[in-house]
Structure 1
Amino acid sequence: MTYREEDRNEQIFLSDSDRKSALPIRLQRLSALPWYDCWVQQLRIEKKSKHTIRAYTLSAKTFSLTKLPGEDEKSWDLLSQMPVGEFHQIANPEKGRMDAWMNTLGSLSPSSLNARIAATSHLLKWLGHGVPDWIQRPSKRKSLPRTLGRAELSRLREASNNSEDPLSSPIVTILLDTGLRVSELCGLDIEDIDLDDLSALVIGGKGEKDRTVLFTSATVRAVESWLPIRKSRARLTGTDDGERALLLSSRGRRMNPRSVQKLVDRLADDSDIPRSRLSPHTLRHTFATGLLERGADLVTIQRLLGHSSIATTRVYLEIGDQTLREIYHRAQRTPPIATPSFENELSEIRNKNGYEAITQIE
C-alpha cells in the first residue's frame, strides 16, 4: 500500500496543543522527527537519482523559506530541523504559502517551472496534503533532441583521435557506441567491462536499474589502448575508487560528469562545432537516432538506452518524421535536377539546422 492510499484510508487527528493537525497514520510515528531528513529518506526509498533528490530539495527549501505576511523570518537550519508534525501545519497549502511561492517563479522556463512544481507536489502529498486544483503545469514547447550530422561526427572522431588527452578517444567512442549517460560512463568500474563478450554492465543506472550495453570492435580497441595509461594513473592515489574506476583523470581520480563536459568542450573547439551543439548527451541522442535510421525497433533502442518508458524513446521517431518532411517539402520546391542520395540529404539537414536541445530526456 502506498502512502497516498494510507492517507485516504485513515488520518490521525492530534490536539492543537501538540501543534499537529490531521497527520496521516504513516507519519504519526515520525511526528517528532525532523521532516527534512524523513522526506529525503523517502526519496531514497523511491530510488530517486542523486540529481533528482538535489533538485527536489532545492525546491523544498525555497518553498519552506517563503514567508507569509505576519510571519517571523526563519532560517533554513531551523526550518529543516522542524518536527514533521509542526512542519505539516506550516506547509498546509490552504494557508497561502503555495500561492506566495508560485508567485516567485514567474521568470522560470516551462520545464524548470514544471520541475519545481513536481518537487513541491511530492512534498505536499508526502505530508498528507492535497495539491491545490488551481495549480496547472505549463505546457512545454515541443522540441527535438540535438544530434550530429555525418560531417560533424567525422570531425569529432578525428579530433578525439588526434587529441593529446588520452581520454578523448575512449570517451567519445564509448559514448557514441553505447549511448551511455555521462553519469553512467563515469560510474563504470574496470570489472564492469567484458571485452571478450563485447559488453559492459551498467550498475545502478537512472532509477537504480542495472542494464547491459554492447560494444563494437572500435569500442574494444579504444578501451584496450586506454588500459595501459589507466594502469599507470591508478597507482597515483592508491585508493580503492581509483583502482576500480575505468576512467581516471591525470591525477588518478575517477572522472566526473563536469570533467567529461570540459573535455567535450575542447573537442568541440577542435572539431569546429559550436560548444552549444555538443555535449555528452548529444552523443547519446546521436547513438539512438543512428540505430533508428539503420532499422532498429523502438523496444531495442529503449533497452539499450535504459529508458523506463517507451514514450521517452518515441521522441526519436519524431526526429525521423521531421527530417523526412524537410526533404519532401524542399523537393517539391526544387526543379528536377540530379540530387544527392537520401543519406546525404539527412546529413545535410542535420548539419545545416540541427535541432533545439532537449535536456529533460532521460
Structure 2
Amino acid sequence: MTEDSGAKSNVWMRAAMGGRLGSRLSGLGLDEGASLPSRLQGLSELPWFECWVQRLKTEKKSVHTIRAYTVAARTLSTTSMPGEEALDWEQAQSLSVLKIHSRIDPNKGRFDSWLNSIGDLKPATINARMAAASHLLHWIGHMVPDWIQRPNRSKSLPRTLGRNELGRVRAASTRSEDPLTQPIVTILLDTGLRVSELCGLDLDDMDLEDKSALVIGGKGEKDRTVLFTQATVDAVGAWMPIRNTRAETCHDDEEKRSLLLSSRGRRINPRSVQKLIDRLADAADIPRSRLSPHTLRHTFATGLLERGADLVTIQRLLGHASIATTRVYLEIGDQTLREIYHRAQNEIVGLPEEEPITEEPVSKAPEQFQRVP
C-alpha cells in the first residue's frame, strides 16, 4: 500500500467512525457542533448536573429550591423527541455540559414538548418549573424564546384564621397530648416564622430575656431577628424539661443544639410539623385544608396589620425581600374587613358625643372692599 493510499484509507476510516458517532449522538438529541459560552468552555466535558447544582449553591439557593429545580431539570432533560432513544435520569444527569447544551437547545423542539407535558399542572407549579428551566437555559448559554409566556396565577388572598378559629386552635394546642404542639403553635403565631425557619431554630438562637430570636439562613440565606411575647417565653419554658430529656438520647452534636426535638431526639422537619398541624386541625374542628404552618404565618401578619403596624415593619419581621410581597396583606378578606368595621364602629359608639358646632354670622366686608354698584 502506497503512502497516499494509506492516507486516503485513514481519512475514510475517520469519516466512517465520525459518521457512526455522529449518528449515535444524533440519536440522543446531541450535536458535537454545539458551542458553549466562554465561561463554560473549561467545564465542557464535566457532568452538567453537578456543575449546575454547584452554581445554585453559589447563588445561595435553599435545599428546597434546589430540590424543586432538580424536578424541572429531570423532566426537561429526559423528554424524548420522535425517533430518539429514551434517556433515564441517571443517564441524563451524567451527560457532559457540552452535550446537555445541545440536548436542551430551545430551538430544537424539546423545550416545546416539555412544556406540553406539564400543561395540565396548576399555574403556580408550571411557573415554578419554568423558572427552574429558565435558570438552567441561561446558565448553559441559551436564551428563553420570547414567545414563551408563563400562565397568570389566579389572585388569591393569604389564607388566615378568623377570630373564632384562632381561639379553637389555641385551645386545642393547650389540650394536645403532644408536648411539641404548644411551643410550635405559640412560636409560629408569635413570630410569623416560616416552617423551615422554625425547624432550623437552635437553642442558642433564642434570647428569652430580650424576647427575640436570630433566624440564621432564612429564605435567600438572609439572617434576621424576630421578636416574640411572654407567651413564647412561657411556652418555651414549659417545653425545656422535655427538650433536655430528649437531647440526652441525641448523639449528633448539630441536632442536639436544636430547640425543638422529636420524641426520638432528632431535629423536627417541615413534614413532621405539617402532620402535627393536621392533627391539631382535627382537634380544633377545622378542615385540614384551612390550617397549615403558613396559615399561622399569614394570621400573624394580618394581625399586625389590623393593629396598625406599617408594611415596612411587617416586611422586616416576615423576612420578605420585596415589599410587594408584603403588600398582598392589604387585600384582606371580607370576613376580616367585617370584623375590623364592627370593632371600629363599637369604639366610635363608646366615644362621648361632640358638642355641636355653631356657625358664627359672617361679618360684613369692610366698606372699602364692598363692590361698587
Q: TM-score, normalised on structure 1?
A: 0.84
3-state SS of 1:213 partner: strand
Counterpart residue number, 1:103: 116
Compute the displacement of 1:240 (Å). 0.9
Contact 2:137–2:143 (CA under 8 A) maintained in structure 1: yes
Compute the displacement of 1:155 (Å). 1.1
Letter of the aligned partner of 2:221 in structure 1? E
Counterpart residue number, 1:86: 99
Contact 1:181–1:284 (CA under 8 A) maintained in structure 2: yes
- Sequence identity, in percent? 68
Counterpart residue number, 1:183: 196
Counterpart residue number, 2:87: 74
**Matches of residues 260-279 of structure 1 in structure 2 within 5 Å?**
260-279=273-292
CA distance in 2, matches of 1:185, 1:343: 38
Match status 1:203 vs 2:216 = yes
Counterpart residue number, 1:7: none
Letter of the aligned partner of 1:55 in structure 2? A
Compute the displacement of 1:314 (Å). 0.4
Contact 1:181–1:280 (CA under 8 A) maintained in structure 2: yes
Match status 1:62 vs 2:110 = no
Counterpart residue number, 1:126: 139
Contact 2:162–2:335 (CA under 8 A) maintained in structure 1: no
Q: Deviation above 3 Å: which 4+ runs of structure 1? A: 320-324, 340-344
CA distance in 1, matches of 2:115, 2:197: 34
2:226 is aligned, of 213, 222, 228, to 213
**Matches of residues 340-355 of structure 1 in structure 2 within 5 Å?**
341-342=343-344
Aligned length: 319
CA distance in 2, matches of 1:88, 1:322: 52
Counterpart residue number, 1:359: none
Match status 1:306 vs 2:319 = yes
CA distance in 2, matches of 1:49, 1:25: 28
CA distance in 2, matches of 1:205, 1:343: 40
Match status 1:193 vs 2:206 = yes
Q: What is the CA RMSD across the aligned residues, in angstroms?
A: 2.1
Compute the displacement of 1:322 (Å). 8.4
Counterpart residue number, 1:48: 61
Match status 1:37 vs 2:47 = no
Contact 1:145–1:285 (CA under 8 A) maintained in structure 2: yes
Counterpart residue number, 1:3: none
1:248 is aligned, of 251, 254, 261, to 261
CA distance in 1, matches of 2:276, 2:285: 14
CA offsets per residue over residues 118-167 of structure 1, 9 Å max, x none? 11111111111111122110111100111011111111111111111111
Letter of the aligned partner of 2:154 in structure 1? R
Contact 2:69–2:132 (CA under 8 A) maintained in structure 1: yes
3-state SS of 1:200 partner: strand
Compute the displacement of 1:48 (Å). 1.1
Match status 1:222 vs 2:203 = no
Larger Rg: 2
CA distance in 2, matches of 1:327, 1:133: 46
**Matches of residues 150-189 of structure 1 in structure 2 within 5 Å?**
150-189=163-202
3-state SS of 2:248 partner: helix
Counterpart residue number, 2:8: none
CA distance in 1, matches of 2:344, 2:296: 22
Compute the displacement of 1:106 (Å). 1.8
Letter of the aligned partner of 1:200 in structure 2? A
Compute the displacement of 1:22 (Å). 2.4
Compute the displacement of 1:224 (Å). 0.7
CA offsets per residue over residues 82-137 of structure 1, 9 Å max, x none? 11111111111111101111111121111111111111111111111111122110
Q: TM-score, normalised on structure 2?
A: 0.82
Compute the displacement of 1:21 (Å). 2.2
Compute the displacement of 1:342 (Å). 4.3
Counterpart residue number, 2:10: none
2:302 is aligned, of 273, 289, 312, to 289
3-state SS of 1:47 partner: coil
CA offsets per residue over residues 260-279 of structure 1, 9 Å max, x none? 11111111111111111000
CA distance in 2, matches of 1:321, 1:294: 17
Compute the displacement of 1:234 (Å). 0.4
3-state SS of 1:201 partner: strand
Contact 1:192–1:200 (CA under 8 A) maintained in structure 2: yes
Unaligned runs of 5+ residues in structure 2 are: 1-20, 23-30, 347-373
1:272/1:297 CA distance change after superposition, 3 Å: same
Compute the displacement of 1:321 (Å). 8.1
Letter of the aligned partner of 2:303 in structure 1? G
CA distance in 1, matches of 2:271, 2:292: 11
CA offsets per residue over residues 215-252 of structure 1, 9 Å max, x none? 10111010111111100010112321332010011111
3-state SS of 1:245 partner: coil
3-state SS of 1:224 partner: helix
1:283/1:327 CA distance change after superposition, 3 Å: closer
